[in-house]
Amino acid sequence: MPRRRPTRALLRLVALLAGGYLLVGAGLFLAQGALLFHPERTRLPDAAWRAAIEDGARPLSVPVAGGAHTLEGLFLPADAPSATERRGGGSVDEDAFREDAAREPAAREDADDTAHEDADDTAHEDADDTAREDADDTAHEEPDGDGAGEAPGVRAAGVEAAGVEAADAEPRAPRPALIYFGGNAETLHPDREPFPSLRAAGVHVALVAYRGYGRSGGAPSGPALLEDALLTYDAVAALPQVDADAIAVWGRSLGSGVATHVGAHRPVRALVLVSPYTRLSDAAADHYPWLPVRLLFRHEIDSAANAQAIDRPALLFHGTEDRVVPFAQGASLADAWPSARLIVLEGRGHGDLESTEAYPEEALRFLRTHLP
């Protein structure tokens, strides 16, 4: 008997399924920026911003895109009084500060923020962020009474770091600095560890929000984040109070790839990466395994390729139960990176690393070793 040909209904069904798949793929291609990046509610509340200024922080602005908008953040000078120090009075040495922070978790107002970095997580639980204003993204409040003693700006490499130099009675010798690149949906809160401990140990800290995040203007994209990160590094390195030969970078989740890019293109002293990925497309593909994500991806951040260009020491942390960025990606990145060391956090996921003894204590010890 002759073989029966497929019916028209079957052919229509196949065509419908193929068309639907292509339609979803096209939608993903066009809307992947909105799916990937979650800047919602990452703006540091005004009350926390003012408290940081009172603690000695200075606003940090980095013009980008030909001056169309700026990246906004805070420069936290080394040895400036922290919120814990203000409450308790007196000086705080490094070990005592850590012990106090461990006893009083309330000293870190937003410790839960770093637990919500999943690109799909729209339920970010930051109690302070409910005070978010609708003001212009580039607006920020200057410290009352301190502006008269600040430098109007420092220009270098085509960027401007505005209003970051404190009015010291006597100029201090330049000190090491750390630039922190946060996770997706993370609010950069200056009171959260490891920032107070680094400042107490004599290290400046720069917290600058990505384009479209926090108080920064513009819209986020993979290429924009990488470009802005280099501009941020150049701005921080140009500050007179920063030792340009002693800058480390710390990247968490989304920020791990950004920090790795900086490490490949600037002379950083050391890198700390938390929950890192091999490529941003690999992390996205894990969330959409039924779509050709890698083929359509437009926001690539290739940590694996950048790692090949880095001979500086790097310390990586990854939880074995991470469901946002699978542990296998961090392990693969470490295996391909001769100067990197991976600390495996057994039984930990993506946002519960702070409860382990190894993190961030090991990271602080690592930075003390590699920053002069």
* Residue pLDDT tens, the chain, 372 long: 555 566 777 766 666 666 555 555 555 544 455 667 889 889 999 999 999 999 899 999 999 978 888 999 999 999 855 454 444 433 333 343 334 334 333 333 343 444 344 434 433 444 344 334 433 433 334 333 333 333 333 333 333 454 444 434 346 789 999 999 999 989 999 999 899 999 999 999 999 999 999 999 999 999 999 999 999 999 999 999 999 999 999 999 999 999 999 999 999 999 999 999 999 999 888 877 877 777 778 889 999 999 999 999 999 999 999 999 999 999 999 999 999 999 999 999 998 988 787 888 899 999 999 998
Beta strands 58-64 and 69-76, pairing class: antiparallel
Count of CB atoms situated within 10 Å of the CB of 305 = 15
Question: Would you state the pLDDT for residue 22?
Answer: 53
**Residue 73, C-beta contacts closer than 8 angstroms, at least 6 positions apart:** 59, 60, 62, 188, 206, 207, 208, 209, 214, 215, 216
Count of residues in the chain: 372
CATH number corresponding to 8-370: 3.40.50.1820
Q: Among candidates 116, 106, 114, which has minimal Cα distance to 83?
A: 106
Q: Are 249 and 268 in contact (CB under 8 A)?
A: yes
Q: Are 154 and 160 in contact (CB under 8 A)?
A: yes
* 5-14 core/surface letters (b: 16 or more CB in 10 A; e: else): eeeeeeeeee
What one-letter code names the amino acid at 193? Answer: E
Question: Would you state the pLDDT for residue 296?
Answer: 77
DSSP for 24-51 reads: HHHHHHHHHHHHH---TT-SPPHHHHHH
Domain positions in the chain are 8-370
Q: Record the pTM.
A: 0.72
